[in-house]
């Protein structure tokens, strides 16, 4: 699965997610990716999220909406993502990852899997990582 979130100079947010689904899935199986509020969500008032991971688990807890709910309560994108991913693990044993941005441009790339390739471009810096805890930077 691949995805992106962005906020432009007008302060508008958007998300996009695309996938080939799950290896050896049943014909006709649809996961979280195309479902609004599961594969992603974007609202200028709160933030934008794109997800990846175990689709059935993500759908059961509507992961992007849960993250945005926590952000509405005042949590940062990073705090909200970690809380939602922890809830998904605790409630449905689900693993996954997210990229998140809020209307001010505060962003997060968080996951509870071993790996997630991610990159963020912001203020002429490119941040990127692959394993848990990585945050390399280079100039854009």
Could you say which of 1, 17, 51, 52 is catalytic? 1
Nearer to another protein, 74 or 93 (CB): 93
Q: Could you give the CA distance from residue 102 to residue 68 in angstroms, rounded to a whole number?
A: 9
Q: How many CB atoms lie within 10 A of CB 53?
A: 22
Nearer to another protein, 86 or 117 (CB): 117
- Minimum CB separation from another protein for residue 76, in Å? 14
Q: Which two tokens stand for residue 17?
A: 């997610």
- Minimum CB separation from another protein for residue 32, in Å? 7
Q: Could you give the CA distance from residue 130 to residue 30 in angstroms, rounded to a whole number?
A: 27
Q: Is 1 a catalytic residue?
A: yes
Q: In what helix (H) or strand (E) does residue 112 lie, and over which residues does it extend? A: none
Nearer to another protein, 90 or 132 (CB): 132
Residues tagged active-site: 1
């Amino acid at each position: 699965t691949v995805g992106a979130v962005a906020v432009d100079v007008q302060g508008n947010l958007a998300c996009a997610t695309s996938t080939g689904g799950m290896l050896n899935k049943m014909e006709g199986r649809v996961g979280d990716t195309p479902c609004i509020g599961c594969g992603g969500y974007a609202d200028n008032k709160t933030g934008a999220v794109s997800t990846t991971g175990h689709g059935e688990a993500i759908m059961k807890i509507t992961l992007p909406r849960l993250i945005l709910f926590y952000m509405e309560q005042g949590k940062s994108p990073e705090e909200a993502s970690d809380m939602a991913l922890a809830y998904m693990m605790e409630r449905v044993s689900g693993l996954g990852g997210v990229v998140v941005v809020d209307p001010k441009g505060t962003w997060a790339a968080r996951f509870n899997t071993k790996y997630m390739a991610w990159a963020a471009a912001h203020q002429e810096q490119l941040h990127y990582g692959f394993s848990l805890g990585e945050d390399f930077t280079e100039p854009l």
